[in-house]
Structure 1
Amino acid sequence: MFDSHDGRGIRRFAFGLALLSLTAVSVTAWILSNVRREQEIVARLIQHLPESDLQVAKELSGDLNLQSSLSFLLVLNIVATAIAFALVVRGYLSSERTLRDVRVLSADILASMDVGIITTDKNAVITSTNPSSRELIGLDGDGVGTRLSEIDPQHALLDEICEEITTYHQPIRDRDYCVLRNGHPSTLRAGCTMLHNRHDEQIGMVIHVRDVTEKTLMEERLRRMERYMGLGSLAAGLQHEIKNPLSALSLHIQLLCERLDQESEDAEVAELLDILNTEVRRINDVLDGFRNYASVAELGRAPVDVTFLIEKLIRLLRPQAEHQNVKLVADLPSEMVGMIQADSTRLEQVFLNLAINALAAMPEGGTLRFEIAGENGNVKIAVSDTGAGIPAEIQGQVFDPYFTTRNEGTGMGLALCDKIIRQHDGSIDLQTSDEGTVFTVVLPVGTVESGGAMTERFGAE
């Protein structure tokens, strides 16, 4: 991620300066050697010259002394060059240390970020990664040299946004996609910008990825609370505009039945009145279910032992289970897995609804199993049956309000379960096959702070 051209240029300059200095020293040494040899030759010649030629010899010797002085000046120049070279080397070493410190600091910054940073070349081949990106994407090693198209298919969006930015040359921000991490669904948010060098030439792309699972859940929770508040107002209006007239209608039907019982025994009229009563009760049930689903009443939180709650539910269900030839099985922990802060009445309603649905899925008998386990600071409760399972085409609708496959149901049971569990900052999921269905509820252990505070603020609990 660092441009090292400047460092290479400094190294070339220092090497050239050193070579020039060595050359100058060599030339100086050669000149000094020649001058010394010439001086020795002149000294020997002077000894054998007649006196008439001594004046010329002395002039020649003076010229040689001048060359020696020039050589001395050249030596001084070489010394000065050597000092300058030493200063250059010192500056170079200092710049290398500074560059190394900057690299270390940059690496530390990238390593400390909770955002994944990935750089690639123009062919979408990874050139660098930071620890967060390796953790989020699940790369083996540093991933350098790997094409984006070769990483986990769950992260195919990263390669797509690189292709898009290569085509349109526009930054891409906030593209969300879902992945499965450690067995749990997570939401990642990715973006991409072009990577330029110091000459403003594009040399690749920079991809940033961060985990926004908690933020997404919070936003979804806010939207749900706003929807519940709107539904609460609507439910209050329906209670006034529909249920009150229905109550009057039910009362008059009852009075009519009493009078007809006294004056006539017409079976057809009695059947029609019975149908009216049944349909009025059905409308009342629908309104009650809608009111409960849209309720904005606060939860009455208190410490709850889920194991005790399930044991109590099993005792309640045993008569009906024996009547249907359904075997009740409880896989309960020998030790307490942790107290949860919850509304026990609402949780009883959730597990009772799940158990009733399980019993309805096994009209000819089977096994209804409850399992409780502690997991990563949560309590996991699984309610499973051995029925025929839920068809694939309707699995995505089972938690929708008013969706039901039974004629006598209102379709609000599972929708209400989903709402209550999410009010407790938990989750509810299902797995189904031809051998049965498993509903898994996960609730946090201890006092709920963030979610509880938020929902109380909006008055939606």
Structure 2
Amino acid sequence: MAEHPNMEQNKSLKKNLQWLMALRVIITTFLLGATAYIQIRERYLYLFPSLDYIYIFISFTYFLTIVYGFLLSKIKNLRAMAYQQILGDVVLTTILIYITGGTESIFSFVYLFSVISASMILYRRGGLIVASMSTILFGLLLNLEYYGVLIPLGRKGIEYTVHDAHYFFYLLGMNMAAFYLVAILSSHISQRLKEVEAELERKKIDYSKLEALYRDIVENVESGLISLDRDGHIGFLNKAGEDILGYRFDELYKESVSKIFPWIDLKRKGQLRGEAIFKKKDGKDIFLGFSISPSRDIGGKVMVFQDITKVKEMEEQVMRSEKLAAIGELAAGIAHEIRNPIASISGSTEILKEELGGSNHLKPLMDIILREADRLNRLVTDFLQFSKPALPQKEVFPLKDLINETLLSLRGNPDWNQDVKVEVQIPNSLSLYGDSGQLRQVFLNLFLNAVQAMPHGGILHISALNRDGLVEVSVQDTGLGIPQEIKGKIFDPFFTTKENGTGLGLTIVHQIIKNHQGEIQVKSEFARGTKVTLRLLSPH
């Protein structure tokens, strides 16, 4: 919080008065000490009185300064005290001139210190007042000396030259001109210094605000920001950068950027842009989009980066959708053309089987024809479902019941492995809003893939919770995992690593989830397992 202007003025005035008191002591000690030295060693140069007067003067000046210092913390009206001190110095200067020879004294210039002090502390008005006071007192001293009312202490008991009126007027005129000229010039300089100081203070406040604004922008911007010195060491990391990378600033301070980002080549000149995979502190891989630019201010470089993992996932989904659309149109046409001959083959075989009778030796071959035709028909049905999926008939149903029913049907599948342990963590109250038949097919495909990925047994963990208005279902296994080189192809149509697979299972899963306005995410580490996460609409 900024201080009140009056408080700032008092603070500045108090500081100036402290300097004034220090200057008074220095000048008095130096000038009068030098005078005492000259009087002792070079008596013939000046007509001085006894040293007692000088010692008394010095002692009184010290005493007066001590009193001023004591009153400085007591008096609230510091401006009045400034006038009192400076005018008091004018009186002291007049006394000094009186005890050191009057018109013959060399100390009339000391008035100028008081004039300058008044101009610097009290500005033009104060300078002119002190200049006038100096003229009046000096003129009064000259008049009293001219008319013989006062005889300077340094002349008592000795002969001295009597000057005429012209000399006195000349001496007074020259000093008066000097007093007012110095008052005007020094007050002008003081006023300009005051204006410059006020301008600097205003700009200082502006710079403080700009610095605070800059700090807020840097700390609150969503992009990560790193500053690098000339040697490529990290000197700054903002809050967004800490969140993206998973590291605190103090953990990366003065670390080489090549150690944290091995794919960055700082030897390249100019701006550097790119994308790369970064492993966070918790081991999670993310996609980083980054830009590195030279910085003239810090003499190094500035790196701006963002987590573009979701953007990459969206790009993959768009590419996958485009592939699905193209292949789907082709599959639909082929499926329709294949389905008609299959129907004819099945029908003809049934007729032949009835006409030849049950004891015919060709019956096993006909059964094979019918069974394979039925399998081919199911495959064609999958093609048609993939190319032109049915719209989901949505309803609200308990998720846990659907999972248990799907697991029950899975146990009757020939690929079921008795060594697989199933763990289900789903609240009884959790419900889904969707087509239960289509979602059963989704879970059956995911569960079957998980079991097939654990030929020697393992754990199939199924969990669900309500997060941010969505139902999040996770299917996790401890199987073989998905190799990195094929991870991006698992949802592609007809892509399979299984001997008898059609390559449509996960494709249809992806399509069903998409038609339910949901999301599917796959995380896998080779030889450590796979986790598939579905995010579906909550009935609430």
Return closer, same or farther for 1:39/1:295 CA change in 2, 3 Å cut-off.
farther
Aligned residues: 404
Return closer, same or farther for 1:207/1:351 CA change in 2, 3 Å cut-off.
same
Q: CA deviation at 1:191?
A: 1.5
Return closer, same or farther for 1:381/1:139 CA change in 2, 3 Å cut-off.
closer
Aligned amino acid, residue 332 of structure 1: Q
Cα deviation per residue 1:234-263 (whole Å; 9 max; x = unaligned)? 12211233333343344445556666x469
Q: CA deviation at 1:82?
A: 1.8
Which of 465, 468, 491 is equivalent to 1:374?
Answer: 465
Aligned amino acid, residue 336 of structure 2: H
- The question of whether the paired residues in 2 share the 8 Å contact of 1:318 and 1:328 is answered with no
Q: Which residue of 1 aligns with 2:436?
A: 344
Q: Which residue of 1 aligns with 2:131?
A: none
- The question of whether the paired residues in 1 share the 8 Å contact of 2:477 and 2:531 is answered with yes
| RMSD, aligned CA | 4.7
Q: Which residue of 2 aligns with 1:107?
A: 215
Q: CA deviation at 1:179?
A: 4.3
Matches of residues 168-317 of structure 1 in structure 2 within 5 Å? 168-169=269-270, 171-173=271-273, 175-180=275-280, 185-197=285-297, 203-252=299-348, 255=351, 261=356, 271=365, 280-281=373-374, 283-317=376-410
- The question of whether the paired residues in 1 share the 8 Å contact of 2:447 and 2:475 is answered with no
Which of 174, 198, 205 is equivalent to 1:97?
Answer: 205
TM-score scaled by structure 2? 0.60
Structure with higher RCO (Cα < 8 A, 6+ apart)? 1
For the pair 1:66 / 2:155, whether they are aligned, the reply is no
Q: Which residue of 2 aligns with 1:402?
A: 494
Q: Which residue of 2 aligns with 1:135?
A: 243
Which of 212, 234, 237 is equivalent to 1:126?
Answer: 234
What is the DSSP-based 3-state SS (H/G/I as helix, E as strand, rest coil) of the residue aligned with 2:199? helix
Q: Which residue of 2 aligns with 1:146?
A: 254
Gaps of 5+ in 2: 1-18, 32-89, 106-144, 146-151
CA distance in 2, matches of 1:81, 1:283: 103
Cα deviation per residue 1:345-385 (whole Å; 9 max; x = unaligned)? 12211222344456667889x67745324375553333648
Larger radius of gyration: 2
- The question of whether the paired residues in 1 share the 8 Å contact of 2:431 and 2:539 is answered with no
Q: Which residue of 1 aligns with 2:104?
A: 41
Question: Percent identity over the alignment?
Answer: 20
Q: CA deviation at 1:105?
A: 1.2
CA distance in 1, matches of 2:451, 2:253: 56
CA distance in 2, matches of 1:282, 1:245: 14
Return closer, same or farther for 1:402/1:228 CA change in 2, 3 Å cut-off.
closer
Return closer, same or farther for 1:270/1:439 CA change in 2, 3 Å cut-off.
same
Return closer, same or farther for 1:57/1:135 CA change in 2, 3 Å cut-off.
farther
Which of 499, 503, 507 is equivalent to 1:411?
Answer: 503
- The question of whether the paired residues in 2 share the 8 Å contact of 1:382 and 1:440 is answered with yes
What is the DSSP-based 3-state SS (H/G/I as helix, E as strand, rest coil) of the residue aligned with 2:194? helix
Return closer, same or farther for 1:275/1:442 CA change in 2, 3 Å cut-off.
same
For the pair 1:446 / 2:509, whether they are aligned, the reply is no
Return closer, same or farther for 1:134/1:369 CA change in 2, 3 Å cut-off.
closer
Q: CA deviation at 1:326?
A: 6.0
- The question of whether the paired residues in 1 share the 8 Å contact of 2:223 and 2:306 is answered with yes
Aligned amino acid, residue 371 of structure 1: I
Aligned amino acid, residue 100 of structure 1: S
- The question of whether the paired residues in 1 share the 8 Å contact of 2:236 and 2:249 is answered with no
What is the DSSP-based 3-state SS (H/G/I as helix, E as strand, rest coil) of the residue aligned with 1:88? helix
Q: CA deviation at 1:400?
A: 4.7
Aligned amino acid, residue 190 of structure 1: F
CA distance in 1, matches of 2:425, 2:232: 52
Aligned amino acid, residue 379 of structure 1: E
Q: Which residue of 2 aligns with 1:455?
A: none
Cα deviation per residue 1:293-348 (whole Å; 9 max; x = unaligned)? 33354333333432111122234345569997567744334543x33333321221
Q: CA deviation at 1:65?
A: 1.9
Q: Which residue of 1 aligns with 2:42?
A: none
CA distance in 1, matches of 2:273, 2:303: 10
Return closer, same or farther for 1:411/1:282 CA change in 2, 3 Å cut-off.
farther
